[in-house]
Amino acid sequence: MKVYEGKSIFKGIAIGKIFFYQKGTQQVKRVKINDVEAEKKRYEAANAKAIEQLEALHAKAVKEVGEANAAVFEVHMMMLEDDDYVSSIRNMIETQQVNAEFAIASTGDNFSEMFSQMDDEYFKARAADVKDISDRLIAVLSQRESVGDMGEEPVIVVADDLAPSETVQMDKEKLLAFVTRYGSANSHTAILARTMNIPALIGVEIEEEWNGHMAIVDGKNAKLYIDPDEETLEKLRTEQQKDIEARELLSLLKGKEDVTADGKHIKLYANIAGVADVANVLANDAAGIGLFRSEFLYLEAQDYPDEETQFLAYKRVAENMAGRKVVVRTLDIGADKQVDYFNLDKEENPAMGYRAIRICLDRPKIFKTQLRALIRASAYGEIAIMYPMIISVEEVRKIKEIVEEVKTELTKQGIAYGSFEQGIMIETPAAVVMSDELAKEVDFFSIGTNDLTQYTLAMDRQNMKLDSMYDPHHPAILRMIQKTIENGHKEGCWVGICGELGADTTLTETFLKMGVDELSVSPSFVLPIRKIIRETSVQE
């Protein structure tokens, strides 16, 4: 038996044989061509075919992992049609009279190298995307499949790396787990693994000779066992069975109240990115939606989504939730969420730059369009509106003025709307310090622990080099959460947590004892958190 360590992406246990996955790559040769126009047509046909494949992958991913996680394939489609990328390929075919495969491979290498050298982590991540779309085009031109046959039996897939398209195309009934040499915890493929509940390890020194060998992926302890002995096999089979039984027991909690052992009621809500995610919320029995990331309506569009498009999306979610609260965060783009048609300038430090509410207040027309849609949707369910990246009382008052303008306009036009709460994200140290004053202006606070942690610790949460130092459990973060809860309650605000820490089961009891009113988590975490809530006595 040999034991290898890696970094865990999803903490499950998988036992089975290894399938060593090799990409269907081949040497791309430079070939001089005589008919330039014919070669450009070959490229254009391949491009159209690649887009067709990505559309099919997107549809498949939406069903399996939801709209938010499927968005990567829309990004790939946009990249295939990017003017700079297309022009480079066409120009190379024309001026150098080379075959389309060589022009695509060269352009892909050039763009990938360019992105990887950038300081911005978002653009660094695009290096893998441009490589993926280039490989897809070359695969279409050479008429070969991009994903190999995994066989008939369920397997643990081992590979140097996996592109999102490869992960989605794999038969989930046959995919027990995956192990890769490369990749990051924030990559699209890692996000897909977590969404699909597939045990996964990255950063493992893999070997091709493992193909066909029995293995165990222990996501809990970030270990890979090759040819495990009987004792290890039996021990981890027992652990695996405990996990299965625990999930079955959790299903019995559906329909139960979110109330502590000593009677304190907690709002246990779910985070979503789009209309399609509501099914997951209902399946996991969340009491409401604590974070509807409305920016995905913008990220998935080719141009600014109009009022009617947004209204129909918000209305549908409100109706589907049938009277349960739906907290919609207003547009939060910038930093790692870039939208081409916003024409945002490149910034040295985008996480601290022109983003979220700063864009909305600077471009009131865009903001008012969204507010009109949201306020109209309040007539169809319990909508609450939440504003991100707040740092001052003045910002909140300005927002409330715009909201009143919108309400006045709708009333004059005879357009119905209901009552709605207004709240803010607490995700900057400034908002924590000012929370006593901010609480007088709004109905609720929702603590965004992801940004609050990076701003408080002065650490980029997407910088892999800082992983070992990045500590969301830092006492300073917990003190800030406590201070926010206390100041909110003094002024009658309910206070929730919608960041990643909300789903951290090691802190659930701590948050309950701090007095938090609401926790909003990924749908799959609702039942595990409910179990802890019902077993916790706040007084003790």
Query: In DSSP terms, which residues pair with 497 in a beta bridge?
Result: 447, 519
Q: Give the DSSP per-residue string, 306-357.
A: -HHHHHHHHHHHHHHTTTS-EEEEP---BTTB--GGG-PPP-SSGGGSS-TH
Given the residues 188, 213, 360, 473, select the one marked as catalytic: 188
Which contiguous run of DSSP H or E holds residue 158?
Answer: strand 155-159
Instruction: For residue 252, give every residue at least 6 positions away whose Cβ sits within 8 Å of its Cβ, in sequence order, or none.
Output: none
299, 371, 308: which is closest to 342 by C-alpha?
A: 299
- CA dist 310 and 278 (Å) reads 16
Query: In DSSP terms, which residues pair with 495 in a beta bridge?
Result: 445
- CA dist 443 and 422 (Å) reads 6
Torsions phi, psi for 516 (to 5 deg) = -60, 140
Given the residues 58, 360, 493, 498, select the one marked as catalytic: 498
- 3-state secondary structure at position 147: coil
- Has 498 been annotated as catalytic? yes
- CA dist 208 and 22 (Å) reads 9
- Has 360 been annotated as catalytic? no
415, 354, 420, 355: which is closest to 382 by C-alpha?
A: 420
- CA dist 301 and 105 (Å) reads 29
Torsions phi, psi for 133 (to 5 deg) = -70, -35
- 3-state secondary structure at position 532: helix
259, 166, 167, 271: which is closest to 497 by C-alpha?
A: 271
Q: 100-116 and 121-141 are packed helices; what angle lies between their axes, rounded to 10 degrees?
A: 170
Query: In DSSP terms, which residues pair with 200 in a beta bridge?
Result: 10, 178
Catalytic residue numbers, as ranges? 188, 498
